[in-house]
Amino acid sequence: MAKSSPKSSPSDSTRQRSPNYPSVGLPDAVTRATRLYEGVGTAGASPDSAAKLIGYSKNHGTARMTMSALKKFGLVEERSGRVVPAKLTVDLANFPPTHPRHGAALRTAALSPTIYRDVYTRYRPHGVLPPDDVLGPELVADSGFLPDKVEGFLADLRGSLVHAGLLRGNALAEAGEVAHGNAPELAAFDPSAPPVPRKGDVVRWTEASDEGEDDDEAEEQEGVVQGLSEDGVWAFVEGYGDGVPVADLTVVSPDPDEEDEDDDARPPGPAPHSPFAARKAPTRTEACALAEGDAVLTRPDDLSRESLEELQAWLDLVMKKLRRLSEAAE
């Protein structure tokens, strides 16, 4: 009697996996790739030796996942069974952060992972990256992410884009031509670019006449932003029922002369700090070397006492989450 063929487990056929994305963010990947380059130059090393050079005791599963992430960022290549630092890593290691080639290499690496590039390409035309509570469900519904994986992915994505100068607050920088093979090189973030409107900003835009599209009939409108749509594409302006495209808006700077005239109406005491004010771009990086890899924290250069308390509360939440993940893994 013929033997029955083995049946596949239902869990094997229905198991869902998130899209293939780097297991570490760009800052960690650059640090490890640079260590490899400093250790062996462009000659490369065997996988076992390369794993040790990037910070692991041996070439175990975690080391292989990290090496795969370095490949996704275009920082290393595999040639004839050896792990070799790629051109991007050579540029990052040899040019200072202020040099254009260092910046170009960072930006190119940040958009080398397919899923990073897909998210960037989807939202760059709008000029803004939606908040996590909007972007997360979209990735789960549209891109097949597992709900318990999307939070970590978004943290790495945002950290990578910020590190490469492609994201400031929620504003995305402009993309340019292709560089270093098939990954796009991006223009540096332009601090003189128009700011993204926020709630309470006075904005102006030009609205075409109902009778036609004659530029002579266009009218300039002005109003106060009451809020933004969840995807950040539309602004809701006081006095207007329909949303106005964020891309069409210009934030109006206060007139210094008008401010002087209103001094008598100013409330007593110092002005309170707005909870909606844009945060400063991070300028400092703290790192803790662990057996599994480096834990990296990017923070603003100056922190107030209130911000330190907020940071401590956030770190406590992060530690609770990490403990739960560690206990679940055991």
Can you spell out the DSSP letters for 220-273?
Answer: EEEEEEEEE-TTSSEEEETT-SS-EEGGG-EEPPPPHHHHHHTGGGSPSSPPPP
Q: Which two tokens stand for residue 258?
A: 């008008």
Residue 324 lies in a domain: yes
Let me know: does 205 contact 224? Beta carbons within 8 Å: no
Report the distance separating Cα 43 and Cα 29, nearest Å: 19
State which of 186, 218, 240 marks the end of a domain.
186
- The two tokens of residue 200 are 């309470």
Distance CA 197, CA 203 (A): 7
The answer to the question of residue 313 being in a domain is yes
263: in domain: no
**What does the pLDDT read at residue 239?**
78
CA angle 107, 168, 145 (to 5 degrees): 70
52 inside domain = yes
Cα separation of 42 and 36, whole Å?
9
Shared domain for 33 and 170, answered yes or no, is yes
Identify the domain boundary among 212, 239, 254: 254
Cα angle value 237/242/243 (rounded, 5°): 60
Number of folded domains in the chain? Answer: 3
Q: Does some domain include residue 15?
A: no
Say what the pLDDT of residue 297 is.
78
Residues 123 and 208 in one domain: no
**Same domain as 174, residue 139:** yes
Per-residue pLDDT in tens (0 to 9) along the chain, 330 residues: 444 444 444 444 444 556 788 999 999 999 999 999 999 999 999 999 999 999 999 999 899 999 999 999 999 999 999 999 999 999 999 988 888 888 889 999 999 999 999 999 888 888 889 888 889 998 998 888 888 889 999 999 999 998 998 888 888 887 553 334 334 444 444 444 456 667 788 888 876 554 444 545 567 888 888 877 655 667 788 877 777 877 777 878 765 554 444 445 455 555 554 443 444 444 567 777 777 777 777 777 677 888 888 888 888 888 888 888 888 777
**Which pTM was predicted?**
0.52
Looking at residue 133, its amino acid is D
**Which pLDDT value is given to residue 77?**
94
Q: Are residues 179 and 235 in the same domain?
A: no
- Rounded Cα–Cα distance for residues 101 and 180 (Å): 11
Q: Do residues 175 and 207 both lie within one domain? A: no
pLDDT for 22: 92
How far apart CA 13 and CA 292 sit, in angstroms, is 31
Q: Are residues 55 and 158 in the same domain?
A: yes
Tell me, yes or no, whether 119 lies in a domain. yes
**Does any domain span residue 10?**
no
Pair (82, 130) in one structural domain: yes
> Do 87 and 169 belong to one domain?
yes
132 and 71 in one domain? yes
Residues 323, 216, single domain; the answer is: no
Contacts of 60 (CB under 8 A, 6+ apart): 51
pLDDT of residue 294: 73
Token pair 């998210």 in the structure block, residue: 119
Residue 178's pLDDT is 31
Domain of residue 213, residue span? 202-254
Q: Are residues 182 and 207 in the same domain?
A: no
Q: Which pLDDT belongs to residue 255?
A: 58
The dihedral over CA atoms of 47, 53, 54, 56, expressed in degrees to the nearest 10, equals: 80
